[in-house]
Structure 1
Amino acid sequence: MANRILVFYGSYRSDRMGIRLADYIVAGLGRRGEEVELVDAKAIGLPMLDRMYKEYPRGEAPPAMEALAKKIRAVDAFVFVAGEYNWAIQPGLKNLTDHFLEEWFWRPAAIASYSAGRLAGARSNSAWHAILAEMGMVVISSTLALGPIAQTLSPEGEPIGDGGRALEQAFARFADDLAWWTEAAKAQRERRAPPY
């Protein structure tokens, strides 16, 4: 049975490079038989955080927030495609994740970072580990880090050059690691309800 996975992408820029990596991951996981969907923070357009989903009276959350909460609760795992802005995380992706809390609990998350430079979003990647763990996810140890992204993936999300070849090798381990933790978490949730 396929694992259900949401891939989150958070850039609001007009010339978005990271969408290449998001598309690559969606396609790669799909080829492995996973049921995968891209969640684009810009397309969803949640407002700057005022109230978390859980702070709305039942049935009164904005429709986009309600629909996303339902999707998050229904899946088995998450992938966060994380760009780096000024040594930090993207505000669009952080804003989207902060609208939810319990919805994330007890599922694995993977991080794929990117940047226009050679450090490949490493600082953002590292920061997201702590953030996602605090939000109740089990963050897998395998990550992807692309930089410079324009020399690694074509505009269509196809691997190019030496960076693309390295990505394809790293992706297999990344996807295997995510699948293992996803299946382990599913089995544990079936065996015993989470403690809270």
Structure 2
Amino acid sequence: MADRILIFYGSYRRDRQGIRLAEWLVRAFAARRAAAELIDAQAVGLPMLDRMYKEYPAGEAPPTLEALAGKIKGADAFVFVAGEYNWGVQPGLKNLTDHFLEEWFWRPAAIASYSAGRLAGARAGLAWHGTLSEMGMVVVSSTLAVGGIGQAINADGEPVGDGGAALTRSFPRFADDLAWWTQAARSQRETTPPPY
């Protein structure tokens, strides 16, 4: 059975560069025979958080929220493509994740950070680690960090230069780590109900 991986991306900026990384990850996971799907917060278009999915009576959540909840519940693992905004997280991605809670539980998550600068979104990656853990996910230790995002992946979506070479070198370990935890979590869910 192919691992069902949702790859979340949250920039709403006009000239967003990180979408290249998100789309490259979809292709890279698909090449490993995973069923990877991009969830672009801008395309989903959820409003600023007012009510979480769980706060709607059954069958009364907006259709977009209902559909996304079903995808999250059906996924085996998640990848968060985390751009760094002023040492912090992207508001679009944070808003999307905050609409849900129990839907995230008992699945692994991985963080792929990026920025225009040389620190490659490391501070955003660190912030996301705690957030995702609090939301019930097991965050794998391997990360991807892409600095100089505009020069590391070209307009055709191909890794280029030193940044692109570092990405392609780091991806196999990142994907292997996520795959191991995905299998472990799936096996555990099949034999033992979650404690809550």
- Report what 1:190 is aligned to: 190
Within 2, Cα distance between the matches of 1:155 and 1:90? 22
Q: Deviations over 1:34-73 (max 9, x none)?
A: 0010000000000000000000111111110000000000
User: What is aligned with 1:70?
Assistant: 70
In 2, the alpha carbon distance for the partners of 1:119 and 1:166 equals 13
Q: Which runs of 5+ in 1 are unaligned?
A: none
Aligned residue number for residue 130 of structure 1: 130
CA RMSD for the aligned pairs? 0.5
State the TM-score, normalized to the length of structure 2. 0.99
List structure 1 runs of 4+ shifted beyond 4 angstroms.
none
Amino acid at match of 2:88: A
Q: After TM superposition, list the pairs within 5 Å mapping 1:45-124 onto structure 2.
A: 45-124=45-124
Partner Cα distance (2:115, 2:156) in 1: 17
The percentage of counterpart residues that share the same residue type is: 72
What letter corresponds to residue 20 of structure 1 in structure 2?
R
Matches within 5 A, 1:9-48: 9-48=9-48
Deviations 1:145-189 (A, max 9, x none): 001011211122211011111110100100000000000000000
- 1:55-107 residue CA offsets vs partner (Å, 9 max, x unmatched): 01111111100000000000100000000111110000000000000000000
Letter in 1 for 2:10: G
